[in-house]
Amino acid sequence: MIDLAAVEQGLALLFSSFAPWMVVVPGIVIGLIFGATPGLQISMAMAIFLPMTLYMDFVQAMLFLTAIFTGGSFGSGIPAILMNIPGTSSAIATAFDGYPMARQGKHNQALGVALASSVIGVLMGYLILFVMIQPLSFMVLKLGPAEMFAIILWGMTLIASLRGEQMLKGLMAGFVGMLVGTIGFNELGMARGTMGQTYLLDGVPVIPAMMGMFAASELFKLANKGYIVESEASRKVRIGEIFQGFKMAVTYPWVLIRGGLIGVFVGAVPGVGSSVSNLLSYVETQRRDEDPSSFGKGNPKGVVASESANSTSEAGSMATLLALGIPGGGATAVMLAAFAMHNITGGPQFIRQQTDVVYAIIFANFAQVFLLMVIGLLFIPLLANIVKVPMRYLIPSVLVLAVMGSFGLTGNMTGPATVLIFAVVGWLLRHYGYSVPAAVIGMLLGAMAEKSLLHSYQISGGDLAYVFERPVTMIILALLLVSLFGQRLVGWFRNRQRVASA
């Protein structure tokens, strides 16, 4: 399974000169800055710096891009914890418990937990990739559009179940989010949901909408507060507490392992990646916990689950890229462009012919893990000072940041208008007890679900028997039913046993 001769050649590629390592630290810093700035995506950073890789050899170029990817994976969790603004969609679940921890004055611990989970997640992901790259690529080939659609539906039901007894409200919010996500032209070139408005033909920009629903609507709630953290004593930045949080993450080994496994396998599915893996990991951790009601109120396990999954999904998406030549998301799509710029084609032939390069990339990422830990610890004390900023300065600053970031994403006033409209929508959802995360995830997955459904329809010719002939699809649908009705069935059986024994 592991080619030892290629391993030796890969190590020689890395250590024959210092040149490949010169780009790693700048890459991690760039990733941290872009990931920590709401509205600036990791893929955007990689695309901006992609032309620079023309002047590098292939291994150096891949090290530079993966360093940006690694730094951005952790960086996106920083605004999620401090301001309830996920820097990217991969850090949505980090905000669920990271921000409540910050509100309780535990921002230092939360950032330490996030850093440790990211570091361990990246390490675990590339270890799994090192051992499993060939079996993983075989498994991904088995997933067709029908399986993808089933996975998306399953993910939606899991997200809806975050609302516990209010699952119906969660499902409704998710369904509405999916409808919003399908506005505009579809794969067949048909426009739907535009209500005749030409500016909706390209669909609703999801990231500005997410900023509005998560961040701006939350700011409405905080308008009368003095600081994010009310207690002056709790606003202090303490290095000791950051290390305390770092150690705290290690005390949840099963949450880390579960998040890592979910991250690798979901990250390996093209088009799904870290946006879904962090949520699936969070939901699974909550469902298996002895005190699920503590989630969403500042439980550090929620941060561990999210950050470990979104960090390991990097390795999963790299597996798909290296083994099949298929990008798992925006970041790996940029890497595929780097492949083309260096006249290299990813896929099974690349694995067979340049196994040493694959191992070199994996080993380089092991080293990046330790550099991320050091650089992250240097950055965190600077960033944690944000809780000392009065809300009268923070609210307008965050709004300006969100508006400018959304303008940068769309290139016109559509982005800022979307932020403001969805800020109101988010406030209404919160006010009436509907799940904002479920609505946001619905928007993220809506277009993806429609695309998979259309492809399944085209392949099957509309014959429903096609679904029943695919065992993997049936297994995923069975898991979906369990997530919808499992708890109720367990409760029903327990009640029957209690009545019978009385």
What is the per-residue DSSP string for 78-118?
Answer: HHHHHHS--SSGGGHHHHHHHHHHHHTT-HHHHHHHHHHHH
Name which residue leads in pLDDT, 56 or 41.
Answer: 56
pLDDT of residue 330: 64
pLDDT of 318 higher than 70: yes
Q: How confident is the model at residue 383 (pLDDT cuts 50, 70, 90)?
A: low
Task: Name the least confident of 77-86, 177-186, 218-227, 274-283.
Answer: 218-227
| Domain carrying residue 343 | 4-469
- Measured in whole angstroms, the distance separating CA 408 from the mean position of its chain's CA atoms is 21
Give the tokens for residue 132: 């499993």
pLDDT of residue 158: 67
Give the tokens for residue 312: 């390991």
Give per-residue pLDDT as tens, 399-451: 787 787 778 767 788 888 888 888 888 888 888 888 777 787 777 777 778 88
pLDDT of residue 232: 67
Which of 13, 17, 71 is CA-nearest to residue 42?
A: 71
Q: Between vectors from CA 498 to CA 497 and to CA 502, what angle results, nearest 5°?
A: 115
On whether residue 335 sits in a domain, the answer given is yes
273 vs 73: CA distance, rounded Å: 12
| 8-state DSSP, 76 | T
Phi-psi region of 492 (alpha: psi -120 to 50; beta: other; left: phi over 0): alpha
- Measured in whole angstroms, the distance separating CA 455 from the mean position of its chain's CA atoms is 25
On whether residue 499 sits in a domain, the answer given is no
Torsion, Cα of 318, 319, 320, 326 (10° steps): 50
Q: What are the distances in angstroms from CA 481 to CA 279, 285, 477, 478? A: 18, 18, 6, 5
pLDDT of 181 higher than 70: yes
On whether residue 225 sits in a domain, the answer given is yes
Contact 446, 453 (CB under 8 A): no
Which of 3, 272, 27 is CA-nearest to residue 130?
A: 3
Task: Name the least confident of 4-13, 265-274, 359-368.
Answer: 265-274
Which ranges in 268-329 belong to alpha helices (H)?
A: 274-288, 300-324
pLDDT of 123 higher than 80: yes
Name which residue leads in pLDDT, 330 or 335.
Answer: 335
Q: What is the mean pLDDT of residues 49-59?
A: 82
On whether residue 210 sits in a domain, the answer given is yes
Which of 3, 7, 98 is CA-nearest to residue 295?
A: 98
On whether residue 189 sits in a domain, the answer given is yes
Q: How confident is the model at residue 248 (pLDDT cuts 50, 70, 90)?
A: confident
pLDDT of residue 429: 86
Q: What is the mean pLDDT of residues 328-350?
A: 72
Write down the mean pLDDT value for the chain: 78
What's the pTM value of the predicted model, to 2 decimals?
A: 0.69
pLDDT of residue 387: 65
On whether residue 97 sits in a domain, the answer given is yes
On whether residue 402 sits in a domain, the answer given is yes
- Measured in whole angstroms, the distance separating CA 473 from the mean position of its chain's CA atoms is 24
Name which residue leads in pLDDT, 196 or 142.
Answer: 196
pLDDT of residue 461: 80
317 vs 264: CA distance, rounded Å: 8
Q: What is the mean pLDDT of residues 444-461?
A: 80
The total number of structural domains that make up the chain: 1
pLDDT of 35 higher than 80: no
Task: Name the least confident of 34-48, 97-111, 420-434.
Answer: 34-48
Q: How confident is the model at residue 40 (pLDDT cuts 50, 70, 90)?
A: low
On whether residue 488 sits in a domain, the answer given is no
Please give the single-letter amino acid code of residue 341. M
Task: Name the least confident of 18-32, 358-372, 397-411, 422-436.
Answer: 397-411
pLDDT of residue 162: 56
Percent of the chain with pLDDT over 70: 83
327 vs 58: CA distance, rounded Å: 17
Give the tokens for residue 124: 């675990």
Give per-residue pLDDT as tens, 255-301: 888 888 888 877 776 555 566 778 788 888 887 888 888 888 888 88
pLDDT of 324 higher than 80: no
pLDDT of residue 87: 61
Residue 287, φ and ψ in degrees, nearest 5 = -65, -35
